[in-house]
């Protein structure tokens, strides 16, 4: 099992190219199942989760070719097995996104209940509720969601869907299913993340009729068929935010090419309050920082977009560990998303957790140690902590990191970090 060896204490300078967003690429790979015509996706990141999704759709009979330049060409014209088996779904929650496209195009789908990071319960009941509202008959048995259209139906029916909570993958599934449904579908309490807007833009390029994406109410007028398209995956705001936190913590001056400042308002506001200089520049984001000595701890509460993202909580907590003062962080999205705390404490951080609340008291220095990654974003927080810690830090179980960050250690080396991958 690969590890990262980090020798801390270096400031970061230069440029980083922000990759395409994992959380946009995965639903967009599934969206290609909605048409029998070829689809080309550009700027697809080289990630384990992308590889898993490609295996999943290939297993259905889809042709999917991946190039080193981030281009993926998909042809679902010969799709013959509308199923997502447990063996491929168990490691990646996003596999549930196959449900909507398969049901909409083929009138049936068999999808395993999903897996992924152990950061808390992420039930699929909202997906089932929404598909049922569009007329699907769904049962859950033997660990699978088995969905089909009622006898005599050829298409799903448009409906008004109001979810009990804001759900990103639910909104994406309903968007894709509704694109081929008969009549109008209105999504109330819809998620507003930039990745959802990017998916909607792709579907529109395929011939879908969608309005209101990026707001809490989305209207979709179903069409009989969708065609192929070429679409560029939006830049990964969480990767960009992770590098912003890394530079703020270590000190330095870095430009994130293709980064979108308008997708990171809540994070950037907190970084500025902490003492970093962050500004949108042509083609990206520039971050400058004098490092830990000038940082002030910042409290925040995670919430749905456009609020502070849960996917940035761990990375900002690493920054708070070496900032001046005390900060309170409240996690409202996932119940198990403080698993990185014990590992940060191993590096010398002072953190107390009580339920959904963590109180971080900044310390003058962290000390390198061997730590273990517990999930994707926790991995990133440990890398940031290792970059500022004295001595050597070893981050174990980085397969989590590889699920969501494209060549992270190479990008960090390119801006001055002393970091290397140690092969098992």
Secondary structure, 3-state, 210-273: EECECECEEEEECCCCCCCCEEECCECHHHHHHHHHHHHHHCEEEEEECCCHHHCHHHHHHHHH
Question: Angle between the 168-179 and 194-205 helix axes, to the nearest 10 degrees?
Answer: 10
DSSP codes of every residue in 8-71:
----EEEEEEPPBPHHHHHHHHHHGGG-SS-EEEES----HHHHHHHHHHHHTT-EEEE-TTS-
DSSP codes of every residue in 90-132:
TT-GGGGGGHHHHHHHHSEEEEEPP---SSS---SHHHHHHHH
Nearest to 20 by CA among 262, 294, 232, 277: 232
Nearest to 343 by CA among 362, 310, 366: 366
Cα gap 212→322, rounded to integer Å? 41
Return phi, psi of residue 75, to 5°: -130, 105
Active site residues: 117
Give the up-direction half-sphere exposure of residue 218: CA atoms within 13 A in the CB hemisphere.
Answer: 35
Nearest to 120 by CA among 378, 317, 316, 371: 378
> Given its phi and psi angles, is residue 189 left (phi above 0), alpha (psi -120 to 50 degrees) or beta?
left
Neighbours of 260 (CB within 10 A): 18
DSSP-derived letter for residue 336 is T
What sign has the CA pseudo-torsion 260, 15, 10, 294?
A: negative
CA 187 to chain centre: 21
CA 286 to chain centre: 22
């Amino acid at each position: 099992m690969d590890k990262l060896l980090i020798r801390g204490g270096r400031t970061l300078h230069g440029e980083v190219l922000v990759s395409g967003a994992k959380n946009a690429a995965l639903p967009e790979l599934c969206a290609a199942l909605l048409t029998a015509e070829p689809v080309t996706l550009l700027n697809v990141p080289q990630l384990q989760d992308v590889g898993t999704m490609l295996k999943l759709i290939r297993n259905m009979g889809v042709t999917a070719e991946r190039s080193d330049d981030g281009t993926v060409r998909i042809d679902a014209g010969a799709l013959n097995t509308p199923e997502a088996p447990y063996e491929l779904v168990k490691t990646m929650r996003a596999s549930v996104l196959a449900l909507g496209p398969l049901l909409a195009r083929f009138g049936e789908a068999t999808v395993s209940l999903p897996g992924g990071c152990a950061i808390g319960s992420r039930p699929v009941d909202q997906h089932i509720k929404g598909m049922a509202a569009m007329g699907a008959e769904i049962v859950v048995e033997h660990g699978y969601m088995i969905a089909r259209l009622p006898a005599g139906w050829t298409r799903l029916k448009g409906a008004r869907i109001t979810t009990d909570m804001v759900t990103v993958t639910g909104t994406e599934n309903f968007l894709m299913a509704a694109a081929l449904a008969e009549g109008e579908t209105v999504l109330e309490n819809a998620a507003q993340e930039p990745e959802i807007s990017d998916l909607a833009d792709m579907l529109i390029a395929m011939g879908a009729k969608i309005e209101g994406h990026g707001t809490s109410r989305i209207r979709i007028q179903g069409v009989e068929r969708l065609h192929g398209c070429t679409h560029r995956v939006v830049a990964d705001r969480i990767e960009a935010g992770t590098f912003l936190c890394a530079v703020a913590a270590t000190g330095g001056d870095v430009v994130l090419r293709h980064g979108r400042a308008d997708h990171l308002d809540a994070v950037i506001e907190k970084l500025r309050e902490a003492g970093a200089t962050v500004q949108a520049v042509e083609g990206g984001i520039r971050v400058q920082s004098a490092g830990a000595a000038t940082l002030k701890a910042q409290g925040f509460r995670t919430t749905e977009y456009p609020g502070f993202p849960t996917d940035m909580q761990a990375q900002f907590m690493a920054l708070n560990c070496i900032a001046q003062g005390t900060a309170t962080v409240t996690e409202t999205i996932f119940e198990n998303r403080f698993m990185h705390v014990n590992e940060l404490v191993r590096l010398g951080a002072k953190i107390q957790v009580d339920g959904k609340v963590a109180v971080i008291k900044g310390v003058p220095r962290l000390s390198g140690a061997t730590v273990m990654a517990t999930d994707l974003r926790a991995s990133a927080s440990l890398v940031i902590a290792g970059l500022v810690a004295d001595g050597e830090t070893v981050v174990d179980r980085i397969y989590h990191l590889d699920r969501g960050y494209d060549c992270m250690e190479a990008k960090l080396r390119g801006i001055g970090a002393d970091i290397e991958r140690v092969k098992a």
